[in-house]
Amino acid sequence: MTASTETQRAIQAVWRIESARLIAGLARMVRDVGRAEELAQDALVTALEKWPETGVPDNPGAWLMTTAKRRAIDELRRGKLLERKHEELGHELESLQGTAAPDLDAALDDVVGDDLLRLMFVSCHPVLSKETRVALTLRLLGGLTTEEIARAFLVPVPTVAQRIVRAKRTLAEAHVPFDVPDSEELAARLSTVLEVIYLVFNEGYAATAGDDWMRPALCEDALRLGRILAGLAPKEPEVHGLVALMEIQSSRSRARVGPKGEPVLLLEQNRGLWDQLLIRRGLAALERAEALGGAQGPYALQAALAACHARARTAEATDWARIAALYDTLAQVVPSPVVELNRAVAHSMAFGPAAGLALVGALTSEPSLQGYHLLPSVRGDLLAKLGRLDEARAEFEQAAALTANARERALLLERAAACARGSGRS
pLDDT in tens, 363-383: 988 988 988 999 999 999 999
- C-alpha 100/C-alpha 102 separation (Å) is 6
pLDDT in tens, 191-233: 888 988 888 888 777 766 555 656 777 788 788 889 888 887 8
Name the band, by pLDDT with cuts 50, 70 and 90, for residue 76: confident
Q: Maximum CA pair distance of the chain? A: 77
Residue 342: inside a domain: yes
Contact criterion met (CB below 8 Å) for 59 and 39: no
Is the model's pLDDT at 89 over the cut of 70? no
In a domain, 35, yes or no: yes
- Residue 411 belongs to some domain of the structure: yes
Q: Are 411 and 263 in contact (CB under 8 A)?
A: yes
- Among 70-74, 105-109, 165-169, 203-207, top mean pLDDT goes to 165-169
For the chain, count helices (H), then strands (E): 20, 2
pLDDT greater than 60 at residue 110? no
pLDDT, tens digit (0-9, with 9 covering 90-100), for 344-354:
999 999 999 99
Number of domains in the chain: 2
Q: What is the pLDDT of residues 407-421, one digit of tens each?
A: 889 999 999 999 998
- Arithmetic mean of pLDDT over the chain: 84
The residue range of the domain holding 366 is: 319-426
State yes or no: pLDDT of 77 exceeds 80: no
Residue where a domain terminates, one of 80, 111, 142: 111
**CA pair distance 139, 149, nearest whole angstrom:** 8
What's the CA gap between 113 and 2, in Å, rounded? 42
Instruction: Quote the CA–CA distance of 294 and 245 in Å, as a whole number.
Output: 13
Handedness of CA 246, 251, 256, 261 (dihedral sign): positive
CATH number at residue 426: 1.25.40.10
Nearest-angstrom CA–CA distance, 107 and 100 = 11
For the segment 283-306, the average pLDDT, to the nearest whole number, is 97
Amino acid 210: pLDDT: 57
Contact 218, 140 (CB under 8 A): no
* Overall average pLDDT of the 146-171 stretch: 87
**Across 54-63, 206-215, 314-323, least confident range:** 206-215
For the segment 170-191, what is each residue's pLDDT rounded down to a tens digit? 998 888 888 777 777 777 778 8
Residue at 48 is within a domain:
yes
Q: Is the pLDDT of residue 107 over 80?
A: no
Is 165 part of any domain? Answer: no
| Mean pLDDT calculated for residue range 62-88 | 74
Question: Domain boundary residue among 63, 84, 111?
Answer: 111
Residue 83 has pLDDT above 70, yes or no: no
The more confident residue out of 100 and 256 is: 256
Instruction: Answer yes or no: is 140 within a domain.
Output: no
Enter the pTM of the model.
0.70
- Is the pLDDT assigned to residue 21 strictly greater than 60? yes
End-of-domain residue from the set 90, 111, 132:
111
